[in-house]
């Protein structure tokens, strides 16, 4: 609900009290309205008079027109009000770090910013002040931030603990997961465009309780992976534990009946009056759920293993090297430079490791952990591969 105020003045600019003013909206799309009893009001001793505007269920711009009851030609219109913002829905939340693979495996105190962007069902920014919470199994992370203009950021700092392979089954050393959660609702497709989940809308995206996927397999491990116990029942609840829709924009038979009763009693009906109720799903009594996003970062190493994996070292050939961290086998830090030199002749190719969380343990990819060099026909061996990290550590391997 928004409050809109006007001032009644005479031709000399003086406030006029006790003037009856009528209010109307430029549109009632989605159920936007002036509440019953607030369509008319009288100006006070300062000439001030106001009304309330209740949002509907569809994002739009709306203006309030105020006119004198004694002379409707004397009127004024408010600035535009924007009906848009609600709680975040699941598919409108995004988490990302400024650097995925910082040089931090053996360096403490490096700070990396992570930013959450959050929007509601209509993909408008969620309200300022909405809190987002964070957790990770590696390093340190600030516990929360508050949304401003649809986003907020926290700092992750390199420190112990550093993820090890045996921390969780199928774990991978040097890789950490950051989980961000906030109160929100499940996502749905509004096929008929009326702003609510009702008859005719396709199935919604049912989600389980949020968990931190430390081993990146997409499934909650029953013992080793932590979760957000939203309903505080002490156990992890999968999606089937609550098959109903969790969110405020839902109109099943019970919600529509409640809205109709409210209208009959002269009360606010909410968002479900006049719609055809959904029969599947039904609306959950729990209107919120922990919406979430998570990202993987690499505590990248300063020292590599450089291995010839393809080609023959001789003039005129192309050779490919795998270059990964010597302990954990992950890609090198973002910004690492990779080049090569010959005893005689020059190598044209050079590379910079990208800002990425590519998993070198699961496959090889040129430009991430494999790099090729063309040896000119008039070149002379040996060939030296040079790897220099952003921290200035230079590593050389001679072939």
What integer pLDDT is reported at residue 363 of this predicted model?
66
Are the CB atoms for 93 and 182 separated by under 8 Å? yes
Q: Given the DSSP bridges, would you call strands 111-118 and 151-157 parallel, antiparallel or unpaired?
A: antiparallel
Tell whether the torsion through CA atoms of 203, 296, 288 and 183 is positive or negative. negative
Q: Is a pLDDT exceeding 60 seen at residue 41?
A: yes
Q: Is a pLDDT exceeding 60 seen at residue 299?
A: yes
Which domains, ranges and CATH numbers included, belong to the chain? 2-83 (2.60.40.10), 88-246+286-298 (2.60.40.10), 304-398 (2.60.40.1930)
Using alpha carbons, list the distances in angstroms from residue 214 to 105, 169, 301.
17, 9, 19
Mean per-residue pLDDT for 92-112? 98
Overall size of the chain counted in residues: 399
What integer pLDDT is reported at residue 1 of this predicted model?
66
Are the CB atoms for 92 and 348 separated by under 8 Å? no
pLDDT digits (tens, 9 = 90+) for 186-208: 999 999 888 889 998 887 999 99
What integer pLDDT is reported at residue 81 of this predicted model?
67
Q: Which residues pair with 183 in a beta bridge?
A: 290
What integer pLDDT is reported at residue 12 of this predicted model?
86
Q: Is a pLDDT exceeding 90 seen at residue 273?
A: no
What mean pLDDT is reported for the chain? 92
Residues in Cβ contact with 387 at an 8 Å cutoff, skipping those fewer than 6 apart: 304, 306, 323, 332, 336, 337, 338, 394, 395, 396, 397
Q: pLDDT-based confidence at 342, cuts 50/70/90?
A: very high
What integer pLDDT is reported at residue 371 of this predicted model?
96
Angle at 197 between CA 192 and CA 202, to 5 degrees: 70
Compute the distance between CA of residue 252 and CA of residue 196 in angstroms, rounded to an integer: 10
Does this model's pTM top 0.75? yes
């Amino acid at each position: 609900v928004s409050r809109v105020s006007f001032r009644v003045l005479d031709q000399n600019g003086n406030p006029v009290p006790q003037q009856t003013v009528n209010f109307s909206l430029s549109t009632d799309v989605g159920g936007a309205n002036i509440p019953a009893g607030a369509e008319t009001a009288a100006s006070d001793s300062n000439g001030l008079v106001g009304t309330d505007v209740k949002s509907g269920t569809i994002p739009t711009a709306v203006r309030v027109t105020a006119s004198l009851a004694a002379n409707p030609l004397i009127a004024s219109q408010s600035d535009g009000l924007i009906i848009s913002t609600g709680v975040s829905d699941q598919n409108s939340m995004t988490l990302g770090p400024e650097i995925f693979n910082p040089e931090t495996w053996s360096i403490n105190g490096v700070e990396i910013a992570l930013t959450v962007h959050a929007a509601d069902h209509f993909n408008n920014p969620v309200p300022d002040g909405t809190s987002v919470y964070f957790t990770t199994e590696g390093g340190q992370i600030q516990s929360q931030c508050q949304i401003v203009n649809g986003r907020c950021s926290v700092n992750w700092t390199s420190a112990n603990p550093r993820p090890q392979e045996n921390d969780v089954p199928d774990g991978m050393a040097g890789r950490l997961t950051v989980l961000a959660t906030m109160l929100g609702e499940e996502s749905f497709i509004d096929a008929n465009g009326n702003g609510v989940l009702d008859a005719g809308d396709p199935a919604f995206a049912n989600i389980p309780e949020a968990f931190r996927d430390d081993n990146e397999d997409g499934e909650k491990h029953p013992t080793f992976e932590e979760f957000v116990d939203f309903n505080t029942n002490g156990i992890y609840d999968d999606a089937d534990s609550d098959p109903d829709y969790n969110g405020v924009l839902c109109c099943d038979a019970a919600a529509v009946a409640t809205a109709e009763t409210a209208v009959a009693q002269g009360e606010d009906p909410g968002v479900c009056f006049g719609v055809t109720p959904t029969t599947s799903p039904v609306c959950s009594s729990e209107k919120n759920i922990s919406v979430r996003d998570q990202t993987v970062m690499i505590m990248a190493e300063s020292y590599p293993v450089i291995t010839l994996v393809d080609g023959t070292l001789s003039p005129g050939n192309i050779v490919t090297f795998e270059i990964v961290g010597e302990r954990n086998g992950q890609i090198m830090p973002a910004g690492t430079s990779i080049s090569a030199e010959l005893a005689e002749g020059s190598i044209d190719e050079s590379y910079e490791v990208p800002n990425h969380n590519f998993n070198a343990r699961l496959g090889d990819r040129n430009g991430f952990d494999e790099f090729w060099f063309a040896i000119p026909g008039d070149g002379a061996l040996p060939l030296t591969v040079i790897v220099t990290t952003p921290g200035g550590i230079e590593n050389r391997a001679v072939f």
